[in-house]
Amino acid sequence: MERETQFIGQSAAFQDAVDRASQAATLDRPVLVIGERGTGKELIAERLHRLSARWDRPYVIMNCAAMPETLIESELFGHEAGAFTGATKTRAGRFEEADGGTLFLDELATMSMGAQERLLRAVEYGEVTRVGSSRPIRVDVRIVAATNEHLPALVEDNRFRADLLDRLSFEVITLPPLRAREGDIEVLATYFGQRMAAVLGWEEWPGFGPRALAAMEGHDWPGNVRELRNVIERAIYRWADPERPVDALSFDPFASPWQPVVRNATAKPAAAAAASEGAPTAPEPQSGPVSDLRAAVDAYEKQILADTMARCRFNQKVAAEALGLSYDQIRHALKKHGLNQ
């Protein structure tokens, strides 16, 4: 399917990030784009280029994580013939390719300290030197970089150069995760669903059933929009009746009664922990004599509700399912104990 370039979403958190990118695009300064996987960092980077004065110049993408440490400097800055084994001819690097335009450095935090040092010089002086050469080359490149890491913490751990971070963080745009984009899950799901239905030749889009909608809202979406798209497209193509609302989702494509058994004994505790992660854990009951049974029971129930809501990120549907309650029952219980703020 073609590259997704549209911004779909109406939540204030998402629109604020897009607006900040649009504002920053007009300034010829470095920008850092921060966000979890699948939040759309590449789309924001492309927007920064397309809305800038460099829009008609090269837009070069480099995924730092995909490059071995021994080759990343050659990829960034180029090399001369004979600079190392296998360098049979001179090659321009990504900086030279992006001259006059924008260089997008994805997965910036994976770059080695040595490469960071050379990148710092390129950003600070606008010059690069090919591997195997001593002659600097002037380049005019705007840097946009992305990562899912908290770079100031990496600086504290001596895994990222503080001076490089200073030069790249003129503007920092942090993209909200899907779970924080209120109202956007159904909007995005409908968009992806309609597109997939058209691919499959459905005459009309039947929409989603209540069970599917509740499952969407209750899921944590660790893979964000990318994961949502996969889940929705998989559900559409597996749905047998295109005239009925789609009401079944499969979040884990690997789920199967015949999936391979993990033989490593050290993996068993981790698997068991993962299986019980969503189960509510009751707090320790009050020790010592109880003078007021009803008050003690109410306090115990309130603590269980509070702990479960926190664990379920305050999603009432998910908390109700974890406690074996209906949606109305948990709403009543939360109201009773003053936890529905």
In a shared domain, residues 151 and 202: no
Closest CA to 183 of 211, 223, 213, 226: 213
In a shared domain, residues 31 and 137: yes
The CATH number of residue 207's host domain is: 1.10.8.60
In sequence order, which residues have a C-beta less than 8 Å from that of residue 303 and are 6 or more positions away? 283
In a shared domain, residues 38 and 141: yes
How far apart CA 91 and CA 99 sit, in angstroms, is 15
Total count of domains within the chain:
3
What pLDDT does 3 receive?
52
In order along its 341 residues, the chain shows pLDDT tens digits of 345 557 899 999 999 999 999 999 999 999 999 999 999 999 999 999 999 999 999 999 999 988 877 788 888 988 888 777 777 788 898 999 999 999 999 999 999 898 899 899 899 999 998 888 889 999 999 999 999 999 999 999 999 999 999 999 999 999 999 999 999 999 999 999 999 999 999 999 999 999 999 999 999 999 999 999 999 999 999 998 999 999 999 999 988 878 787 766 444 444 334 334 444 555 555 555 656 777 777 888 888 888 888 787 778 888 888 888 887 788 888 888 888 75
The CATH number of residue 319's host domain is: 1.10.10.60
What pLDDT does 157 receive?
95
Q: For residue 235, with 0-12 CB atoms within 10 Å meaning exposed, 13-18 middle and 19 or more buried, which class applies? A: buried
Q: Of 134, 155, 176, which one is at a domain's C-terminal end?
A: 176
Residues spanned by the domain of 149 = 12-176
In a shared domain, residues 77 and 45: yes
How far apart CA 51 and CA 113 sit, in angstroms, is 32
The answer to pTM > 0.75 is no
Residue 91 DSSP one-character state: B
